[in-house]
Amino acid sequence: MADQDRPQIYLITPPELDLDTWPDQLAAVLDGAEIACLRIALATRDEDRILRAGDAIRQVAHARDVAVVIERHILLAERLGLDGVHLTDGARSVRKVRKDMPDAIIGAHCGTTRHEGLTAGEAGADYICFGPIGTTPLGDGSRAEFDLFEWWSEIIEVPVVAEGALTAELVEKFGPVTDFFAIGEEIWSQDNPTAALKALLAPLG
């Protein structure tokens, strides 16, 4: 694959993280690989914890010119000085958020549904996420199939992100038909996230 066709890497934070150690782990990964974007995707609904984590993550990422978006928390994106927001309800709120945040990065997770992705793109999303592409015991077992990415990459100009239960084999297969791979739990659960990321992306060369 030519360099311009090589998918970019989009990191997702773990749902729980230790603010004493995780920012250093993040810095090591960002220094060890070229990362296009970082999504803050914390499970907690504690505003103070999200703000403290968001602040630390933004400092590490912005020092390395990596854009940062936050999952769902639209108001906190502005308070934290982030680059945008990642919406998890498909196309439902894209149009309103685009109106409220005209210059922000807005991404939409559209599950496995082509129609939802098209609607979100028309409403102003900057990228569309489909997934999971791998097998996971979570959710209802449905997967975003190769055919969906193949069709999207040929027809639609809005960038597409592949995520969910990635393996090196899936990276090799989906590499030619996706613009980004979103990677999170696949590496943060390992002892050496930087090495895990490199192993996962090895098929891209």
| Domains, the chain, ordered by start | 3-204 (3.20.20.70)
Phi-psi region of 193 (alpha: psi -120 to 50; beta: other; left: phi over 0): alpha
Mean pLDDT score, 171-191: 96
Indicate the average pLDDT of the chain. Answer: 94
Give CA 175 to chain center in angstroms: 15
Mean pLDDT score, 165-173: 97
* Per-residue pLDDT at 135: 87
| CA-to-CA dists, residue 20 to 23, 43, 46, 165, angstroms | 7, 18, 18, 27
